[in-house]
Structure 1
Amino acid sequence: MSPVVVGPARRTDTRRMPAPSPSLPVPTAAARPSTQHRTLANGLTVLVEPMKRVQSAAFSLMVPAGSSLDPPGKNACAALLCDLLTRGSGDLDNRGFTHALDDLGVNRGESVGASHLSVSAATVAENLPKALRIYRDLFRDPHLPEEEFAPAADGLRQSLRAIEDEPAQRVMLELRRRTYPAPWGLPTDGTLSGLDALTYADVVHLHRTAVRPNHAVLAVAGHVDPEAWFDLAAECFEDWEEKPDPPIEPGPRGPARDHLHHDGAQTHIALALPAAAYGEPGYYEAWAAAAILGGGMSSRLFTEVREKRGLCYSVSASLSGLKAGPGPDAAQEGRLFCYAGTTAERAQQTLDVLLEELTRLRDGVTKDELTRCVARAKSGLVMSQESTTARANGLARDWRHLGRVQPLSETLDAVNALTAENVSEYLATRPPAPPTALTLGPAALDWPD
């Protein structure tokens, strides 16, 4: 799982990206755990981890109002709500909200996932409490100005139309629709047809019924005092009333093998296979296999597809997953995603080699491949300890997926315990299954029986 990307005043949706290089979960505690947590009576969990050697601090606040709660046929409701929430709340109007955070020097982000609407903020530690109070009003006392509905919808519409000009993003979004059941596999930023069907009343209703403290997570990391932040969280959220969890009716997945016509000189190939999800037995073996297959310039796909044969300009594999609900007990589905972008003339051979490498992966990995994989992992784990934003995001993610915070020592132990033999055993014991497959380009490709 990749960490959430946080940028200044910008919503980020990592699902639009072609399969990224696989990464281990960002570690969320030092070797000796220092994270403290409390859960308010309304179900909001507060996690605080001091990092005394830094002067900054960051928080991640996840509220269970994601795109899976979009009304049927109106996939874009959560994305539009996310935009409208930032257009004034409490005593601040649209510009006042932005100026107040800028005055505090806050690097901020607001984003929509399948299960949660998330905000994050990072700044010097002394200013972060003020930022939290501003975001408290965003969720609890938003203006949701009706006159801003049309401009917000127009902005989202342009963003969705831009995907048509980014076929690499489009193919990965469409692959998720065919990999996971609706509404979990639907694009978190919505669709043009869903946006066109949406009304202002739909957005207000989603806020009234879905934005709630139960299953919400506030994670704080940096130069902070835990007791002071527990008191601040109580001040901001203790009297926030619980709401019933809105019902979700699962729908069908898309076809397991499909082609989307797209005029142009390029063909984009996207595959997904079942894999262990974060927190499940075999997760670290699955992560290592994904890294060896397509994680960087020493990976098998880069070597065989691009370097030796020159078949494509981009090829990768990553481990990802879906959690079908906001609580820690919700079902998870892990997936190995593969992506290749090539010319139409070389698309069939690219697909054939991709499938050959997936088959060869089941024969196991070598010690040298695993050694390189583990070295990259350890380097990333250590460097991530210096980022308060990464730590806060990791705390929230761990709590959501595991119902606890996983210390760095546990992550390192799992990485150090990896051997070529147990990764190979994991691969050999996975039930063989044809991949969910999607191509986008001028012509469909031939698939083996």
Structure 2
Amino acid sequence: MGQQVFQHTLSNGLVLLAERMEHVRSAAINFLVPAGCANDPDGQFGVGSVLADLITRGAGDRDSRELSLALDGLGVDRDESVGVYNMRFWGSTLARNVPAALTIYADILLRPHLPADELEPVQSLAVQDIEALEDAPQAKVMLELRKRYYPSPMNKDRRGTVEDIEALTIAAVKAHHSRLFRPNGTILSVAGNIDWDRLKAQVEDLFGDWKPGADPDLAPIERTPESGHIPKETAQTHIAIAYPSVPVTHADYYAARAADGVLSGGMSARLFTEVREKRGLCYSVGVRHETFKDRGTIIGYAGTGADRAQQTLDVTMAELRKLKDGVTDDEILRVKAGLKASLIMQEESTSSRAGSIASDWYHLGRVRSFDEVQAAIDGLTPGTVVDHLARFPVRGTTLVTIGPAPLTMPE
């Protein structure tokens, strides 16, 4: 039997998606709640991350330990994370345990305790996360790049600031939950060996009474990106760049992904070969495609010795810019093989499928079939990539560096 994807929208706006995978005995649950860090109010940056930690410390009729024991008893491998626009709750377990796990997640999302006596340790962990950036310059330079490249509120960081985290009250955390946790805008995706009719009925029962809330105004406040340098006396320089590309909604999306793959798709890719292998300029270099609903970006990073930093930037930018002059058949074959391998591995993973169908619905308002994705990959040629780069050349590059001296963007 072919791919089986189901969709149902509750009367309160919650979207339920499911993909039945009959060949597995497991299942994955994935919630996208519209409570990402873009919603963090001024003076409360980081409140979403604090909420994401605190929300699992007791819910419904279970305290923090009882909640953990209940999920552990079901064998639920789980995590919570905060993105720009969504807060994600993910769990993977045996398919037969999905109903019990969903019941617990309904308590977590709708009836969390948010205990005041747990706030201080959560704040302490959040502050440690921020302070750890000083020992992680690659993460810090990418954070600074996003702050300077993207418009507000897209440029907010989930970690927030030490000052705002330490000033948070339990009332502020509870108000944040009350304001943002709503069914309209929430996507629940399940993938695995599930019974669709039973799943739909249970979700209606658990979440049907959840009251809708108001949509916040998160329209980007456009501005001109700003390059910059963060002085740090060290033997290394960390280089981060960003420039516009196309979003997943654009017809050129897979051509953009292919261009990214030619540059960074493994040890035979151009950047690894030209910048690291041939010249020995850096220990790490690469680019990747990042997408939001309304825009795409090419994000790049290189880590190198301070004495080779300018040359590293020069060679990297030269490789990015000359890609428009042509790619080879072998490069496209390699990229297509990598994309297809990723697609096949995704087909075999319940967690990947649950995440993928939720992402598709969030960005596209529909779920792409494997056949559609494979056809897009099969349609890639050197010509389609070059044509894309002619329409969307490297331009408007934002540069952020951490190291002893600033660098100059080559013309």
TM normalised by structure 1 equals 0.89
Which of 147, 167, 192 is the equivalent residue of 2:137?
167
Task: Give the alignment partner of residue 41 of structure 1, picking from 11, 17, 20.
Answer: 11
Quote the Cα distance in structure 2 between the aligned partners of 1:307 and 1:432.
23
Q: Which deviations, in whole Å up to 9, do the C-alpha atoms of 1:86-115 show, x marking residues without a partner?
A: 110001111111111101101101111111
Q: 2:179 aligns with which of 203, 209, 214?
A: 209
2:341 corresponds in structure 1 to 379
Q: Which residue of 1 aligns with 2:189?
A: 219
Question: Which of 29, 32, 47 lines up with 1:59 in the alignment?
Answer: 29
Which residue of the partner structure matches residue 303 of structure 2? 341
Residue 103, structure 1, aligned to residue 73, structure 2: yes
Among residues 64, 86, 89, which one is paired with 1:119 in the alignment? 89
Conserved in 1, the CA contact under 8 Å of 2:150 and 2:225? no
Residue type at the aligned position of 1:97 = L
**Map of 2:327 onto structure 1:** 365
The code of the aligned residue for 2:258 comes to A
Match of 2:404 in 1: 442
Distance across 2 between alignment mates of 1:243 and 1:394: 26
Write the mapping of 1:60-75 to structure 2, written as runs, cut at 5 A.
60-75=30-45
RMSD: 1.4
Q: What are the ranges of 5 or more consecutive residues in structure 1 without an aligned counterpart?
A: 1-29, 324-331
Structure 1 residue 431: Cα displacement: 5.1
Give yes or no for contact 2:243–2:394 (8 Å, CA) kept in 1: no
Question: Which residue does 1:10 correspond to in 2?
Answer: none
Among 374, 382, 391, the residue aligned to 1:429: 391
Deviation at 1:50, TM superposition (A): 0.9
State how far apart, in whole Å, the 2-side matches of 1:252 and 1:421 are: 33
| Correspondent of 2:206 among 225, 236, 246 | 236
Measure, in 2, the Cα distance between the counterparts of 1:444 and 1:306.
Answer: 21
- Quote how far apart the aligned CAs of 1:190 are: 2.0
Deviation per CA, 1:285-320: give whole Å up to 9, x if none.
Answer: 000000111221111100010000000000111101
Aligned positions of 1:41-440 closer than 5 A: 41-248=11-218, 250-251=220-221, 255-323=225-293, 332-430=294-392, 433-440=395-402
Q: Secondary structure at the match of 2:210?
A: coil
- Change in 2 beyond 3 A, CA 1:333/1:149: same
What SS class does the counterpart of residue 301 from structure 1 fall into?
Answer: helix
Q: By how many angstroms is 1:193 displaced?
A: 3.3
Aligned residue in 2 for 1:5: none
Q: Within 1, Cα distance between the matches of 2:184 and 2:359?
A: 16
Compute the displacement of 1:255 (Å). Answer: 4.6
Once the two structures are overlaid, the 10-residue window that deviates more, 339-348 or 66-75, is: 66-75
Of residues 114-123 and 425-434 in structure 1, the stretch that sits farther from structure 2 once superposed is: 425-434
The answer on whether the counterparts of 1:209 and 1:246 sit within 8 Å (CA) in structure 2 is no
CA distance in 1, matches of 2:105, 2:224: 37
In 2: Cα distance, 1:206 partner to 1:434 partner? 36
188-197 vs 205-214, which moves further? 188-197
Report how far residue 250 of structure 1 moved. 4.0
SS in 1 for 2:344: helix
Deviations 1:377-410 (A, max 9, x none): 1112112211111111111111101100100000
Question: How far off is 1:74 after superposition?
Answer: 1.9
Corresponding residue of 1:19: none
CA–CA distance in structure 2, aligned partners of residues 406 and 248 of structure 1? 26
- Distance in 1 of aligned mates of 2:355 and 2:26: 15
Q: Distance in 2 between matches of 1:63 and 1:440?
A: 34
**Partner AA of 1:122 in structure 2:** S
8 A contact 1:76–1:190 mirrored in 2: yes
How far the C-alpha of 1:432 sits from its partner, in A, is 5.1
Provide the C-alpha distance between the structure 1 equivalents of 2:322 and 2:382, rounded to a whole number of angstroms.
15
For 1:286 and 1:335, locate their aligned partners in 2 and report how far apart those are by CA, in whole Å.
Answer: 10
- Over 3 Å counting, the alpha-carbon distance change for 1:361 and 1:191 in structure 2 is farther
Q: Deviations over 1:304-359 (max 9, x none)?
A: 10000000000111101234xxxxxxxx2100111100010110110110111111
Counterparts of 1:253 and 1:179 in 2: how far apart (Å)?
9
Amino acid at match of 1:65: A
